[in-house]
Structure 1
Amino acid sequence: MATSSRLTVRRRTLGAGAAAALALTLAACGSSGDSSSMPGTGHGGKSSASSSAGAPQAMGDMPGMDHMASGNGLSDTQDGYRLTSEEATLPSGKRTPYRFTVTGPDGKAVTGFALDQTKRMHFYAIRSDLTGFQHIHPAMAADGTWTADLASLTPGSWRLFASFTPGGGPGKGKDFVLSRTVTVPGTATDTPLPAPSTSTQVDGYTVTVKGELMAETAHPLTVSLARDGKPVTDLQPYLDTYAHLTAFHEGDAAFAHLHPTTKVTGDHGGPDLAFHAELPTSGNWRLFLQFRTGGTLHTAALTLRVG
């Protein structure tokens, strides 16, 4: 869960009291030619590769009209930076590339990006019913065109997020999260959001979240991991941390992610990871926790209620 801030601004704009810890933030994870997507994480929360199927719920705008949204990563523009793509529809049932560009205030493609958690671009995909989570590190061509290799998508409306920090220009050092929506044609079946729960299982691991969150207030949050009833103590670093937590708000798919405050000390992290979280909006949030053990990346999902 990333060093952070308020969902709407990100870690560098966090209130003074929570900035020392890591608050929930509109995140930017960076880029390279590799991918850490977790294809098809659905609502079951039982497997890091479970499939997702569900009818789209309203995301507040139509494909290509993302500039009408504002804040929480739900806009394709901010401070003169714009996420652009010619693709408004993507095929279902097969891996597919999504090509996009980030343009700066001068209208030219940005090619210089700062590293954030070892990457220059973090790219996320989520269906409007909050299934199908993917986290990808796309590759950039010399002209500034990024290609995110998406795993199989199910029919419905999807929101695609680009999280980055410009390495130069007027936005240098500032974290941005921009998004656009695409449609995957076909018959979509609604998948209701699972009820809020403090625990879930994935790949034999039990993930437990402790802490009651209130909107617009920083609260401590602890994530504990166990396997076969025993505390997990062999977490390996992933993106320079022991866990990566991404959150999406039910109804509008507003985006945020946190990073643990726990210091990384080699391949023996766990069982408890400490966080400070500040979520600006009440309601249900779908959380996706990614962690690595034995060289394998796991993704656990659960619904958390924010009062």
Structure 2
Amino acid sequence: MSTFTPSSLRRRALAAAGTAAVLAVTLAACGSSGSSMPGMDHGTHPSAASSTGSTPGMNHDSMAGMDHGSMGDGLVDAEDGYTLTSTATELPTGKDTTYAFRITGPDGKPVTSFAVDQTKRLHFYAIRSDLTGFQHLHPTMAPDGTWTADLAALTPGTWRAYASFTPDTGTGEDRDFVLSRTVTVPGTAQATPLPAPTTSTEADGYTITVKGIPMVGMAHPMTVTISKDGKPVTDLQPYLDTYAHLTAFHEGDQAFAHLHPETKVNRDNGGPDLAFQAMLPKPGNWRLFLQFQTGGRLHTAALTLRVG
């Protein structure tokens, strides 16, 4: 669990002031989980620190179970002087590749100081326009501020790359940003229809059930229950300082939302129920990606929720 310093507590207080905002749910793909869910790509293996869940570092999340209200929907590459820059407009088809980028500040210089959020200084996401092939990665940063994300093989089409971060200095200090850019993967793109809305799905032999559908414009309780072979799962391990990591994307415009459970972490004894306060900002279909860890292995599940 995170250790809180006066600085991290100050960050929480600042973030809490903006939590009346829009943010949501997902079920993400980070690391290679071996999940059989179609249209999903799991990126790289979790780090040893992530696997143990014991990485020290402050977590400045706003309120328990709700993510940062100031993030916006992630559909712009620049906000309040901070810009996601990259020379990459095209990535190769069908093979592992890297995506290099920088975050520049209001002074036009690369930002190199970032606050730790869920044990990481920056979270990177990639998803195709039809909401398939999702990857959640934790890139590395060079001294000059260049980040490198190691992407698993991409299929042809238009992809959107997101960077989620909090500057640790400057005018954006303590503020959470999600910025994104699109990139093309050449070839004949074949769109995959979004799976129909449902409240239950399976991954790696686990059954994931969602109760309490989020409603537009208001926080709404939502519970994710995990079971296996008809029995409740009670051995969830911490992953990124929590028992689950969820990311959601809106059908059509790829608007981004993210939250994590308000359930307190108690060693390797998580589950079967994970409680959330979810608010999705737009009506329509949202594709949710859920990550959770058992026995040192990261699992990923995905489902579609309809928000009216």
* Residues 37 and 203, structure 2, Cα contact 8 Å, conserved in 1: no
* Residues 36 and 204, structure 2, Cα contact 8 Å, conserved in 1: no
Q: How far is 1:37 from its partner?
A: 3.7
Distance 2:33 2:135 in 1: 6
Q: Give the aligned partner of residue 282 of structure 2.
A: 281
Q: 1:36 to 1:302 in 2, by over 3 A?
A: closer
Q: Give the aligned partner of residue 38 of structure 2.
A: 44
Q: How far is 1:48 from its partner?
A: 7.1
Q: How far is 1:71 from its partner?
A: 4.6
Q: 1:298 to 1:41 in 2, by over 3 A?
A: closer
Alignment of 1:112-261 (within 5 A): 112-261=113-262
Distance 1:234 1:43 in 2: 22
Q: Give the aligned partner of residue 74 of structure 2.
A: 73
- One-letter amino acid of the structure 1 residue matched with residue 128 of structure 2: R
Q: How far is 1:41 from its partner?
A: 7.6
Q: Give the aligned partner of residue 82 of structure 1.
A: 83
Distance 1:214 1:123 in 2: 27
Structure 1 residues 207-216 or 195-204, which shifts more?
207-216
Q: How far is 1:36 from its partner?
A: 3.6
* Residues 26 and 72, structure 1, Cα contact 8 Å, conserved in 2: no
Q: How far is 1:188 from its partner?
A: 1.1
Q: How far is 1:40 from its partner?
A: 9.9
Q: Deviations over 1:123-153 (max 9, x none)?
A: 0000000000100000000000000000000
For normalisation by structure 1, the TM-score amounts to: 0.82
Poorly superposed stretches of 4+, deviation over 6 Å: 39-43
How high is the sequence identity, in percent, across the aligned residues? 69
Q: 1:147 to 1:41 in 2, by over 3 A?
A: farther
* Residues 41 and 134, structure 2, Cα contact 8 Å, conserved in 1: no
For normalisation by structure 2, the TM-score amounts to: 0.81
Distance 1:148 1:128 in 2: 19
Q: Deviations over 1:11-56 (max 9, x none)?
A: 75222xx8xxxx73599x9xxxxx94458989638x8759xxxxxx
- One-letter amino acid of the structure 2 residue matched with residue 227 of structure 1: K
* Residues 130 and 193, structure 1, Cα contact 8 Å, conserved in 2: yes
Q: Give the aligned partner of residue 14 of structure 1.
A: 19
* Residues 43 and 194, structure 1, Cα contact 8 Å, conserved in 2: no
Distance 1:126 1:113 in 2: 24
Q: Deviations over 1:83-105 (max 9, x none)?
A: 00000000011110100000000
- Residue 13 of structure 1 aligns to a residue whose secondary structure is coil
Distance 1:39 1:74 in 2: 28
- One-letter amino acid of the structure 2 residue matched with residue 238 of structure 1: Y
* Residues 37 and 301, structure 2, Cα contact 8 Å, conserved in 1: no
Distance 1:305 1:88 in 2: 32
Distance 1:40 1:235 in 2: 17
Distance 1:48 1:301 in 2: 11
Distance 2:289 2:232 in 1: 20
- Residue 194 of structure 2 aligns to a residue whose secondary structure is coil
- Residue 277 of structure 2 aligns to a residue whose secondary structure is strand
Q: Deviations over 1:246-267 (max 9, x none)?
A: 0000000000111100000000
* Residues 42 and 135, structure 2, Cα contact 8 Å, conserved in 1: no
- One-letter amino acid of the structure 1 residue matched with residue 234 of structure 2: T
Q: Aligned pair count?
A: 266
Q: Give the aligned partner of residue 65 of structure 2.
A: none
2:89 paired with 1:95: no
Question: Where do 5+ consecutive residues of structure 1 fail to align?
Answer: 1-9, 30-34, 51-69
Question: Where do 5+ consecutive residues of structure 2 fail to align?
Answer: 1-14, 44-70
RMSD: 2.5
* Residues 26 and 73, structure 1, Cα contact 8 Å, conserved in 2: no
- One-letter amino acid of the structure 2 residue matched with residue 44 of structure 1: P
* Residues 81 and 103, structure 1, Cα contact 8 Å, conserved in 2: yes
Distance 1:187 1:234 in 2: 43
Distance 1:71 1:268 in 2: 33
Distance 1:116 1:77 in 2: 20
Distance 2:16 2:260 in 1: 10
- Residue 98 of structure 1 aligns to a residue whose secondary structure is strand
Q: Give the aligned partner of residue 263 of structure 2.
A: 262
